[in-house]
Amino acid sequence: MKKPSELSRRDFVRSALGTGVALSAPAIVGATSKGQGKTFKVGLIGCGGRGRGAAVGALEAGKILGFDVRIVATADYFKDRAVKAGKQLNVPPERCFGGPTCYQALLETDVQIVLMATAPLFRPLHLEAAVKAGKHVFTEKPVAVDPPGCRRVIAAGELAEKKELVVTAGTEMRHDWKYRKTHQAVAVEKALGRLYAGRISFCTGHMFWSRPIEPKTADDLVRSWQNWISLSGDHLVEQHVHNIDVANWFCGGPPVSAVGFGGRSRRPAGDMYDFFSVDYDYGDGVHIHSMCRQVNGCWNWVGHDFVYEKGRTNGSDHPEPKKSPIPRDLPQAPSSHYQEQVDTLYYVNKGKAVNQARAVAESTATAVMGRVSAYTGRQVSYKEIMTDPGANPKLYNLTLKPTAEDFDKGTVEIPKENSIPIPGRA
């Protein structure tokens, strides 16, 4: 094995992917943060709560690293939202773009880094376009709603690597130092021995419209995207992907298969379930139980619990590892939302291509696999949905409608409200 200082950029990316260690950068240990005072131009696609939060995070990250970070363009499906965010972020109205193709207008500007926080359906299209346009990307999770979308993101990440671009993701635990150190100690250094089993959960209260939406237009769907399988992926994908990502990270990759169930107990709007329970089989007898629910008045827990031969961890509570996975000159931010922006700028400035596209796409695909299993009542394998086109072509090519391109072309068909998948028949 080469010494860390001899690792090439490609080796660095491979080693990060191979071990599942997010942003661990043996290649740059000892490097210094050069470029203080440099200007970085950032654009935002998707100007809702998280998008505006990410933009503020990028500005704060600039202060932490000593860079002059400017938000120079905003884009949102609804132009008034792009303009409103622009006002808050000091972007002139002529650089605030609206409409379904607003992302194209933003990518034609001089932005260097693009923050993506739209509804998940649009991420593969936007990410691919941004990388082709030569932009660095921070993408919110999840990154797709179906298997072809996940593969498109993996391909975009590979293209980004070739073009020496940074792609970071909002799977925030991979940026959190406590999680990174615990992962290093437990999953890399094996401080607790062999992993036996675990459980992950995103059980919270109601986070959806409390009356039917009765959509008539594409705009109605975008306004209520959190309620539609085709736009959000269902809440197992949209929200619980955070915990699934931690499971994949600690288990060293995606599971072999999933068996799940779920249903809709109180949700009055859209076409999604409001609870899921999925058993993920990671091979070698390791199972992770995953549950998520969005129903008021019930037991809630958001977290992880992994049981090892010599102890257990919640993913962030292990004492220091023997070797820190954190580069010595990487500053620590006060929260993981800021840390992900610090990480993005840090690597863009270093000219180090970091590719988190594959990990977040695999976690999104793992969530999609659990959803498909619950909807159909079948055991579903990762091979069927992601890696073997011949194993089950129907699942491998499963493309939810309307697609992102339907919104660009004005060919959106409105899904039926309150029509939900029936296991055994779906």
Ligand X SMILES: NC(=O)c1ccc[n+]([C@@H]2O[C@H](COP(=O)([O-])OP(=O)(O)OC[C@H]3O[C@@H](n4cnc5c(N)ncnc54)[C@H](O)[C@@H]3O)[C@@H](O)[C@H]2O)c1
Which residue, 60 or 76, has its beta carbon nearer to ligand X?
76
Tell me if 100 sits within 8 A of 89, measured CB to CB: no
Smallest gap from residue 422 Cβ to ligand X (A):
26
Strand order in the sheet with 167-169: 96-98, 68-76, 39-45, 113-116, 136-139, 167-169
Among residues 40, 21, 53, 13, the alpha carbon closest in space to that of 338 is found at 53
If one asks whether residue 43 binds ligand X (CB under 6 A), the answer comes out as no
In the complex, minimum distance from the CB of residue 395 to ligand X, in angstroms, rounded to a whole number? 23
- For residues 150 to 189, the per-residue mask of contacts with ligand X, x marking binding by CB under 6 A and - elsewhere, is --------------------x-x-----------------
Q: Pick the binder of ligand X from 12, 40, 67, 77 (CB under 6 A).
A: 77
Q: Per rule CB under 6 A, is residue 21 in the interface with ligand X?
A: no
Measured N-to-C along each axis, helices 79-89 and 49-65 cross at an angle, to the nearest 10 degrees, of 30
Which of 172, 384 has the CB closer to ligand X?
172
Count of residues engaged in binding ligand X, rule: CB under 6 A? 27
Q: How many residues are recorded in the chain? A: 426
Residue 343 engages ligand X in binding (rule: CB under 6 A): no
Kindly tell me which of 240 and 318 has the beta carbon lying closer to ligand X. Answer: 240
Could you say whether residue 146 binds ligand X (CB under 6 A)? no
CB of 8 to ligand X, least distance (A): 31
Provide the minimum distance between the beta carbon of 118 and ligand X in the complex, in angstroms, as a whole number: 4
Give the residue with the Cβ less far from ligand X, 172 or 271: 172
The correct pick among 46, 86, 262, 421 for binding ligand X (CB under 6 A) is: 46
To ligand X, the closest distance from the beta carbon of 299 in angstroms equals 22
124 binds ligand X (CB under 6 A): no
CB 299 within 8 A of CB 203: yes
What is the rounded distance in angstroms from the CA atom of residue 426 to the CA atom of residue 422?
5
CB 169 within 8 A of CB 245: no
The distance of closest approach from Cβ of residue 404 to ligand X in the complex, given in angstroms and rounded to an integer, is 7
Report the interhelical angle of 357-376 vs 241-251 (nearest 10°): 110
Q: Which of 58, 71, 115, 117 binds ligand X (CB under 6 A)?
A: 117
Q: Which of 35, 48, 263, 268 binds ligand X (CB under 6 A)?
A: 48
The CA R_g of the chain, rounded to the nearest whole Å, is: 21
Q: Which residue of 37, 49, 297, 334 would you call a contact of ligand X, by CB under 6 A?
A: 49
Q: Please, which residue, 143 or 354, has the CB nearer to ligand X? A: 143
**48-56, 247-255, 259-267, 366-374 -> range binding ligand X (CB under 6 A):** 48-56
Closest CA to 367 of 237, 263, 254: 237
H/E/C letters for each residue in 24-61?
A: CCHHHCCCCCCCCCCEEEEEEECCCHHHHHHHHHHHHH
Q: Which of 130, 184, 139 is nearest to 159 (CA)?
A: 130
Instruction: Using the minimum distance from each CB to ligand X, give the nearer residue, 7 or 333.
Output: 333
User: Would you put residue 30 in left (φ > 0), alpha (ψ -120 to 50) or beta?
Assistant: left
State the residue number with the nearest CB to ligand X. Answer: 48
262 binds ligand X per the rule CB under 6 A: no
Helix (H, G, I), strand (E, B) or coil at 363: helix
Minimum gap (Å) between residue 410 Cβ and ligand X: 13
Three-state secondary structure call for residue 199: strand
**106, 97 Cβ separation under 8 angstroms:** yes
In the complex, what is the shortest distance from the CB of residue 46 to ligand X, in angstroms, rounded to a whole number?
3
Q: Measured between alpha carbons, how far is residue 286 from residues 196, 232, 251, 364 in Å?
A: 5, 29, 9, 20
Contacting residues toward ligand X, per CB under 6 A: 45-51, 75-78, 81, 100, 102-103, 117-120, 122, 140-141, 170, 172, 222, 238, 407
